[in-house]
Structure 1
Amino acid sequence: MADFDIVDPRFRALVLPNAPLEKLADGFRWLEGPVWFADRDELLFSDIPNNRVLRWSESGGVSVFREPSGFENGHTRDRQGRLLSCSHRDRCIHRTELDGATTVLADRYQDRRLNSPNDVVVKSDGTVWFTDPPYGIQTDYEGGKQCAELPATVYCLDPRSGRLRAVVEDLDGPNGLCFSPDESRLYVAETGLQFAAEPKQAIHVFDVVAGTGDGLPGLAHGRVFLDTHADGMRCDEQAHLWIATGDGVHCFDADGSLLGRINVPSRVSNLCFGGRHRCRLFLCASQALYAIYTNTRGAQRP
Structure 2
Amino acid sequence: MDIDRRALLAGSAALGAALAVPKIANAQAEPLGTQPSRYPDGAWEVLDPRFSKYMIGNTPLQRQWSGALWAEGPAWNGVGRYAVFSDIPNNRQMRWDEVTGTVTPLRHASNYSNGNTFDFEGRQISCEHSTARVVRYGRQGPPEVLAETFEGKQLNAPNDAVVHPDDGGIIFTDPGYGSHWYYEGNVRELELPTSIYHIDASGGAVTRLTDEIFKPNGLCFSPDYRTLYVADSAATHHPEPSRIIAWTVEDNGRRLTGRREFATLENGFHDGLRADVDGNVWAATGFAGEGLDGVHVYAPDGTKIGQIKTPEGCANLAFVGEHRNRLLLTASQSIYTIYTAAQGAHIA
TM-score (normalised: structure 2): 0.83
Higher strand proportion, which one? 1
Inter-partner Cα distance in structure 1 for 2:201 and 2:113: 19
Deviation of residue 140 (structure 1)?
Answer: 1.0
Deviation of residue 210 (structure 1)?
Answer: 2.3
Q: Kindly indicate whether the alpha-carbon contact (under 8 Å) linking 1:135 and 1:194 is maintained by their aligned counterparts in 2.
A: no
Q: Kindly indicate whether the alpha-carbon contact (under 8 Å) linking 2:174 and 2:195 is maintained by their aligned counterparts in 1.
A: yes
Inter-partner Cα distance in structure 2 for 1:201 and 1:9: 25
Structure 2 match to 1:265:
311
Give the letter for the 1:139 counterpart. W
Q: Kindly indicate whether the alpha-carbon contact (under 8 Å) linking 1:172 and 1:200 is maintained by their aligned counterparts in 2.
A: no
2:73 pairs with 1:33: yes
1:130 to 161, 172, 183: 172
Structure 2 match to 1:280:
326
Inter-partner Cα distance in structure 1 for 2:272 and 2:299: 16
Inter-partner Cα distance in structure 1 for 2:141 and 2:76: 17
Inter-partner Cα distance in structure 2 for 1:165 and 1:281: 32
1:224 to 261, 271, 274: 261
2:192 pairs with 1:155: no
Structure 2 match to 1:291:
337
Post-superposition CA distance 1:113-168 (Å, at most 9, x none)? 10100010001121100000111111111012122111100001113201111111
Q: Kindly indicate whether the alpha-carbon contact (under 8 Å) linking 1:120 and 1:131 is maintained by their aligned counterparts in 2.
A: yes
Inter-partner Cα distance in structure 1 for 2:295 and 2:101: 27
Secondary structure of 1:234's partner? strand
Deviation of residue 193 (structure 1)?
Answer: 5.9
Q: Percent identity?
A: 40
Structure 2 match to 1:203:
244
Deviation of residue 45 (structure 1)?
Answer: 0.2
Deviation of residue 100 (structure 1)?
Answer: 4.6
Q: Kindly indicate whether the alpha-carbon contact (under 8 Å) linking 2:170 and 2:198 is maintained by their aligned counterparts in 1.
A: yes
Post-superposition CA distance 1:169-220 (Å, at most 9, x none)? 1211110110000011000111116344x34421100001126xxxx62110
2:223 to 174, 181, 186: 181
Runs of 4+ in 1 over 3 A off after TM superposition: 193-196
Deviation of residue 69 (structure 1)?
Answer: 0.3
Inter-partner Cα distance in structure 1 for 2:346 and 2:313: 27
Q: 1:222 to 1:54 in 2, by over 3 A?
A: same
TM-score (normalised: structure 1): 0.95
Inter-partner Cα distance in structure 1 for 2:338 and 2:101: 19
Q: In the TM superposition, what are the counterparts of 1:14-29 in structure 2 within 5 Å? A: 14-29=54-69
Q: Unaligned 5+ residue runs, structure 1?
A: none
Give the letter for the 1:287 counterpart. Q
2:132 pairs with 1:91: yes
2:93 to 18, 29, 53: 53
Q: Kindly indicate whether the alpha-carbon contact (under 8 Å) linking 1:132 and 1:175 is maintained by their aligned counterparts in 2.
A: yes
Q: Unaligned 5+ residue runs, structure 2?
A: 1-17, 19-41, 287-292
The alignment of Structure 1 onto Structure 2 pairs a total of residues equal to 296
Inter-partner Cα distance in structure 1 for 2:176 and 2:298: 28
Structure 2 match to 1:252:
298
